[in-house]
């Protein structure tokens, strides 16, 4: 057997097939990593949004108590910073109040208080805000 004859009969199709498979696998890994990164960012924003909602709800509850105790909108102590709260650290709630006198009748008086609470959590690209409006009399 002559070595020159063996080299002439080889076609070399393995190298292009291997390069194609490696390229396809590289694109597949790249696509999966981008999908994973996008999913992680989405979950992070969902958590921040939920925290902002809970901060706004907590602020509204505190404002309702303050308004009903003072019997006026002047009783609101705003903003409310959640420093010691474990789940709401770096969050804050800003509350505003408007009152309207109306002839409603029944128990509870004739003054309707509209309390708006804006919850905010995070900074920069991870910042999320939620608004809640409550009416009490």
pTM over 0.85: no
The answer to whether residue 9 is domain-embedded is no
More confident residue, 4 or 65: 65
The answer to whether residue 2 is domain-embedded is no
The answer to whether residue 7 is domain-embedded is no
DSSP conformation class of 84: S
State the residue range of the domain holding 70. 14-136
The answer to whether residue 1 is domain-embedded is no
Based on the structure, what is the number of domains in the chain? 1
Query: Strand, helix or coil at 11?
Result: coil
Question: 6-45, pLDDT tens digit by residue?
Answer: 556 666 778 888 888 999 999 898 888 888 877 777 788 8
Residue 1 has pLDDT above 60, yes or no: no
Using alpha carbons, select from 116, 98, 114 the residue that is nearest to residue 56.
116
Tally the C-alpha atoms within 13 A of residue 92's C-alpha that lie toward its C-beta. 11
- Residue 118: phi and psi, rounded to 5, are -115, 115
DSSP conformation class of 111: E
The answer to whether residue 5 is domain-embedded is no
User: Is residue 4 classed exposed, middle or buried when 0-12, 13-18 and 19+ CB atoms within 10 A define those classes?
Assistant: exposed
Pairing state between β 128-136 and 91-101: unpaired
The answer to whether residue 42 is domain-embedded is yes
The answer to whether residue 6 is domain-embedded is no
The answer to whether residue 112 is domain-embedded is yes
Query: At CA 77, angle to CA 71 and CA 78, rounded to 5?
Result: 130
């Amino acid at each position: 057997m002559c070595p020159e004859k063996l080299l002439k009969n080889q076609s070399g199709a393995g190298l292009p097939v291997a390069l194609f498979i490696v390229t396809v696998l590289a694109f597949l890994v790249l696509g999966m990593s981008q999908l994973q990164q996008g999913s992680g960012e989405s979950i992070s924003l969902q958590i921040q949004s939920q925290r902002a909602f809970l901060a706004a709800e907590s602020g509204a509850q505190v404002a309702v108590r303050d308004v009903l105790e003072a019997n006026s909108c002047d009783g609101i102590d705003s903003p409310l910073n959640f420093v010691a709260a474990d789940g709401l650290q770096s969050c804050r709630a800003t509350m505003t109040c408007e009152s309207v006198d109306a002839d409603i009748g029944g128990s509870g008086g004739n003054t309707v208080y509209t309390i708006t609470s804006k919850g905010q959590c995070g900074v920069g690209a991870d910042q999320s805000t939620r608004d809640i409006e409550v009416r009490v009399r």
